[in-house]
Amino acid sequence: MYILAIESSCDETSASVVEMDDPCGTDAKAPVPVRNILSNRIASQIPLHTVYGGVVPEIASRAHAEAVSALTYDALREAGLGLSDIGAVGVTAYPGLIGALLVGVNFAKSLAFANHIPLVPVCHIYGHIAANYFTHPELKPPFLALVASGGHTSVIRAKSYTDFETIGRTRDDAIGEAFDKVARVMGMPYPGGAEMDRLAYEGNAAALKLPSAAIADDTLDFSFSGLKTAVINHLHTLEQKGQSYNRADIAASFSEAVVSSVLKKLDLALRRTGETRLVLAGGVAANSHIRAALEAYCAKHGNIKLYLPDRALCGDNGAMIGAQAYFEFLRGVRADTTLNARAVME
């Protein structure tokens, strides 16, 4: 079936048409299921927010409102389909910036109900996980997922396509937020995560000893705020003393601390749950140091199979929402005209 999906939870407006089918159900011996992206239009607002050093919610909502209609038209046209071909409209309903979400939800509602198409609300975080179904059509739950983005850091057990249990989370900053804040203090434009990734190759990871973001208890929780603050305090102290620093060394040391923290908690989560599939998702899933470390970990532990999403599908996009909408649709999830957006998970 064809699904039209709308994403507007943060600073990217996206409209996508995906084709999803499981011709022989979820039988393990069934042929590889259909997971096609026919269009995935993304309008990034980053240039609008860069001057402020972060996302300004009011500007985000307005930019979504301006973009969503034309993007949807373009997504349908690129897919070569009309609304009458669409079996369901999927929309990110939570979590995210409330004003930004409301733009997508209200647009999707109007489109779906005016055209008598079922409307399916989708959780943004589960959408990030579902991006992996395009890169790995053979991927099936159960699996363990790390969702690492600018707004979220969660260790999630996917028991089925639609049944998730969050078994670990950040207690403060999200992983991408920490990358962006450290980058900002070093004078890099928002969002600095990708530039930190690149810069880390040029530096010495042992230059600065940093605290772990893996909380030293038997939970699967993280605290990226302490790690971020340690770096920022170090930089401020150097500045006050009039001493210069090597940005690449800072990026490499920070990256090393993030990678070892992630590995520590994922190792614990895998051992505790007994899961044998590990999925990475979210904007920070594009980070090459985290990807390489997880590849090395899984090569060492031959019983764990790793699934990394295409880099193009790591950031916010409509296709991932369409993939998750498909599974929610199969489960019978439908929204009526009272559908509202929600800033938080619960």
Contact residues for ligand KG4 (CB under 6 A)? 10, 149-151, 176, 179-180, 191, 193-194, 196-197, 282-284, 286-287, 315-316
Q: Is 149 in the site for Zn ion (CB under 5 A)?
A: yes
Distance, CA of 316 to CA of 331 (rounded, Å): 24
Nearer to ligand KG4, 86 or 152 (CB): 152
Nearer to Zn ion, 248 or 341 (CB): 341
Shortest distance (Å) from residue 330 CB to ligand KG4: 25
Distance, CA of 330 to CA of 335 (rounded, Å): 14
Distance, CA of 342 to CA of 99 (rounded, Å): 10
Distance, CA of 5 to CA of 78 (rounded, Å): 14
Cis amide leading into 191 (omega within 30): yes
Shortest distance (Å) from residue 328 CB to Zn ion: 17
Nearer to ligand KG4, 118 or 127 (CB): 127
Measured from the Cβ of residue 185, the count of other Cβ atoms closer than 10 Å reads 18
Distance, CA of 98 to CA of 81 (rounded, Å): 30
Interaction partner, residue 197 (ligand KG4, Zn ion, none; CB < 5-8 Å by kind)? ligand KG4
Nearer to ligand KG4, 90 or 315 (CB): 315
Count how many residues are written for the chain: 346
Interaction partner, residue 193 (ligand KG4, Zn ion, none; CB < 5-8 Å by kind)? ligand KG4
Shortest distance (Å) from residue 13 CB to ligand KG4: 12
Distance, CA of 142 to CA of 163 (rounded, Å): 10
Interaction partner, residue 224 (ligand KG4, Zn ion, none; CB < 5-8 Å by kind)? none
Distance, CA of 268 to CA of 336 (rounded, Å): 41
Nearer to Zn ion, 149 or 287 (CB): 149
Interaction partner, residue 179 (ligand KG4, Zn ion, none; CB < 5-8 Å by kind)? ligand KG4
Interaction partner, residue 154 (Zn ion, ligand KG4, none; CB < 5-8 Å by kind)? none
Asked if 76 and 17 count as a contact pair (C-beta separation under 8 A), the reply is yes
Interaction partner, residue 60 (Zn ion, ligand KG4, none; CB < 5-8 Å by kind)? none
Q: What share of the chain is helix, strand, coil (3-state, %, to 5)?
A: 45, 20, 35
Shortest distance (Å) from residue 194 CB to Zn ion: 15
Nearer to ligand KG4, 86 or 279 (CB): 279
Shortest distance (Å) from residue 235 CB to ligand KG4: 18
Shortest distance (Å) from residue 315 CB to Zn ion: 7
Secondary structure of residue 332 in the 3-state scheme: coil
Interaction partner, residue 22 (ligand KG4, Zn ion, none; CB < 5-8 Å by kind)? none
Nearer to Zn ion, 149 or 153 (CB): 149
Nearer to ligand KG4, 121 or 150 (CB): 150
Q: Is 316 in the site for Zn ion (CB under 5 A)?
A: yes
DSSP of 290-307, one letter per residue?
Answer: HHHHHHHHHHHSTT-EEE
DSSP of 164-190, one letter per residue?
Answer: EEEEEEBSSS-HHHHHHHHHHHTTPPS
Shortest distance (Å) from residue 286 CB to Zn ion: 12
Shortest distance (Å) from residue 117 CB to ligand KG4: 26
Asked if 215 and 172 count as a contact pair (C-beta separation under 8 A), the reply is no
Asked if 273 and 167 count as a contact pair (C-beta separation under 8 A), the reply is yes
Distance, CA of 84 to CA of 68 (rounded, Å): 19
When CB distances to ligand KG4 are compared, the closest residue is 283
Nearer to ligand KG4, 141 or 283 (CB): 283
Shortest distance (Å) from residue 149 CB to Zn ion: 4
Secondary structure of residue 148 in the 3-state scheme: strand
List interacting residues with Zn ion (CB under 5 A): 149, 316
